[in-house]
Amino acid sequence: MKIDVELKNVTKKFGDVVAVDDVSLWVGKCEFFSLLGPSGCGKTTTLRMISGFEKPTEGEVYIGGELMTDVPPFKRPTNLIFQNLALFPHLNVYDNISFGLKIKKLPKDEIQRKVKEMLNLVRLSGYEKRKIKQLSGGEQQRIAIVRALVNEPTVLLLDEPLGPLDLKLREEMVVELKRIQREVGTTFIYVTHDQGEALTMSDRIAVMKDGRVLQIGTPMKIYEQPKSRFIADFIGRSNLFEGSCADGVVEVDGLGRIIAEPGPQTSDKHSVLICAKPEKISIGRKLKGLDNIFDGEVKETYYQGRVTTYRVLLENGSLITVVVLSSGAKDIFKPGAKVKVGWNKRDVNMMM
C-alpha cells in the first residue's frame, strides 16, 4: 500500500503536559484509519498536528511523502472535521460548503455543481439556503462532513464526528461515511473513543493511551489479540486471568490449570495474563469437549433480546462475563443456578 500520512517520533508538549508522546505511525492511501482511545489520550492533538494547527515539539509529519512539519494549515492537502463542527453561523449551507472552493477560485457553475453533488451525497438536497441554526444536529454533522469533503482532500481528518448523535443516526452515519469513503477514495483518519465505531469502519486501528500508541492493527487483530491488559479491557469486555505459565499450561491461583495455545515457547515459568472474550465462553449444566471447563454459579442474568449476558462467579472468586445467543425461556439460567463454563484453548489469548 502507498503511504499517505506518516508520523515519525512525534511528541507534543503543552508546557509540562505531554499530550502526544513519541508517536510513530503510517496511514496508507485510501485507508480508513482510526485513532481509538479514552478521553484525553491525545487523539485531537494528533489530528491537529496532521492538519497543521499544532507544531510538534519533536518529530516529523509527512503527507504524500512531503515533510509538512512547518507548512501552515491552509497549504496542507488535508481537511479536518472539527470535534465541535465549527460551521460558520453567519453563512448559509451553500456558503459553508462552497467556502473552500471559492477560496480556490473555481468557476461558479462548477462550485454550484459540486455543492449540489455533495448535498445529494448526504441526502440534504434543497438545503442550500438554510441557516446553520435551522439545521438539526445530525444535519449539521453531515454539512460539516461535506464542507470538508467537497474540497476533495487527499486526507480527511475526522474528530469524533458522530459524537453528539443518537444511536440510530450514528449507525446511519457510519454506513454513510463508509459509502462516501468507497465512492470518493479519500484517506480517512478517524478519531473516536467508541470501540464499536472503530471496529465497524476501520481498515486499521491505532489504540492510544496517555499520548502513546499501544497497538496498531486490523480490527480483528486488535479485538482478538490485544497486546496489553488495557486494550483487552478497553475493547470488548474481556475476562482476564493472571497466572504463571509453563509449556502452554497456565496455573491460576484458586482456579486450577488453564490450557492455552502454546505461544512463543519458553519452558521457564513466567507470569502471564489470559484473556477470554465473553462470547467465546460456553455455558451449560453439562459441558464436554472443551479444553477448559470450570464450575460456577450464575450471579446476574441480563436478557438483552438477541443475546443474554451472564455474570458467573468462579471458584477462585472472580466474576466472569459470558454472552450467549438467547435461545428461549426454558434454557435461560436464573441467578443462583449452578453451571459449568468452558472454552477451547484456541479461544483465549495470552499476554506477557
Partner 1 sequence: MRRGKGITIYFYLFMLVIFLPLLLLLVFSFNDSFSAGFPWRGFTLRWWETFFADPVALTTVKNSFVVAVTVAVVATLMGLGVAFPLVRRVFRGQNVLLSALLVPIAVPYLLIGISLFSLLRVELGLELSLFTLAIGHILVALPYSSLVLMARLIGFDRSLEEAAQDLGATGFTTFRKITFPLIKPGIYVSMFLTFTVSLEDAVIATFLGGSDQTVPMFVFGRLRRWEGLPMAMALSSFMVLIALVFACLFLIRAVRPRLPAPPPRGRG
Task: Answer with the entry of partner 1, Mg ion, ligand ATP, none that 308 interacts with (C-beta below 5 to 8 A by kind).
Answer: none
Q: How many CB atoms lie within 10 A of CB 166?
A: 11
Q: What is the DSSP string of 301-330?
A: EEE-SSEEEEEEEETTS-EEEEEEE---GG
Please state the closest distance from residue 55 (CB atom) to ligand ATP, in A. 12
Number of residues forming the site for partner 1 (CB under 8 A):
31
Near partner 1 by CB under 8 A: residue from 70, 90, 107, 306: 90
- How many residues sit in the footprint of ligand ATP (CB under 6 A)? 13
Per-residue b or e along 293-315, where b marks 16 or more CB atoms closer than 10 Å to that residue's CB: ebebebeebeeeeeebbbbbebe
Q: Which is nearer to ligand ATP, 76 or 193 (by Cβ)?
A: 193
For the chain, how many helices (H) and strands (E)? 8, 20
| Piece of 33-41, 170-178, 242-250, 282-290 that binds ligand ATP (CB under 6 A) | 33-41
User: Does 17 sit near partner 1 (CB under 8 A)?
Assistant: no
Taking CB within 5 to 8 Å according to partner kind, which of partner 1, ligand ATP, Mg ion, none is near residue 39?
ligand ATP
Q: Which does 41 bind (CB under 5 to 8 A by kind): partner 1, ligand ATP, Mg ion, none?
A: ligand ATP
Find the binder of partner 1 among 9, 24, 120, 125 (CB under 8 A).
125
CB of 43 to Mg ion, least distance (A): 5
User: Does residue 141 contact residue 96 with C-beta atoms inside 8 Å?
Assistant: no
Q: Residue 205 forms beta bridges with which residues?
A: 34, 217
User: By CB under 5 A, is residue 51 in contact with Mg ion?
Assistant: no
When asked if residue 80 is in the footprint of partner 1 (CB under 8 A), the reply is: yes
Lookup result for grid cell 444535519: 139
Q: Which stretch binds partner 1 (CB under 8 A): 9-17, 32-40, 67-75, 333-341?
A: 67-75
Asked if 44 is part of the footprint of Mg ion (rule: CB under 5 A), the reply reads yes
The answer to whether residue 133 forms part of the interface with partner 1 (CB under 8 A) is: yes
Question: Which residues between 44 and 63 bind partner 1 (CB under 8 A)?
Answer: 51, 53
Give the nearest distance from C-beta 286 to Mg ion in angstroms.
50
Of 26-34, 37-45, 280-288, 289-297, which segment contacts ligand ATP by CB under 6 A? 37-45
Query: Count of CB atoms within 10 A of residue 12's CB?
Result: 22
The answer for residues whose C-beta is within 8 angstroms of residue 56's C-beta and 6 or more apart is 10, 11, 12, 20, 49, 69
What the block records as the C-alpha cell of 80 is 479536518
- CB atoms under 10 Å from CB of 94, counted, come to 17
Backbone angles phi, psi at 134, to 5 degrees: -90, 15
> Which among 132, 143, 63, 61 is positioned nearest to 92, based on CA atoms?
132
C-alpha 112: how far from chain center = 35
Q: Is 137 in the site for partner 1 (CB under 8 A)?
A: no
Cα–Cα distance for residue pair 128/100, rounded to 1 Å? 16
Instruction: Please report whether residue 161 would count as binding ligand ATP according to CB under 6 A.
Output: no
- The entry of partner 1, Mg ion, ligand ATP, none near residue 196 (CB within 5 to 8 angstroms by kind) is none
Q: How far apart are CA 337 and CA 312, in angstroms?
A: 10
Distance spanning both ends of the chain, measured CA to CA: 31
Q: Pick the binder of partner 1 from 123, 131, 182, 285 (CB under 8 A).
A: 131
Q: Tell me: does residue 209 bind ligand ATP (CB under 6 A).
A: no
Q: Which residues fall within 8 angstroms of residue 310, CB to CB, at 6 or more apart?
A: 283, 298, 300, 301, 302, 321, 322, 323, 324, 333, 339
**Cα separation, 192 vs 199, whole angstroms:** 11
Q: Does 46 bind Mg ion (CB under 5 A)?
A: no
Closer CB to ligand ATP, 159 or 347, in the complex: 159
Catalog residues that contact Mg ion under the rule CB under 5 A: 44
Catalog residues that contact ligand ATP under the rule CB under 6 A: 14, 17, 19, 37, 39-45, 83, 193
Catalog residues that contact partner 1 under the rule CB under 8 A: 51, 53, 72-74, 78-80, 82, 84, 86-90, 99-100, 103-104, 125-131, 133-134, 147-148, 151
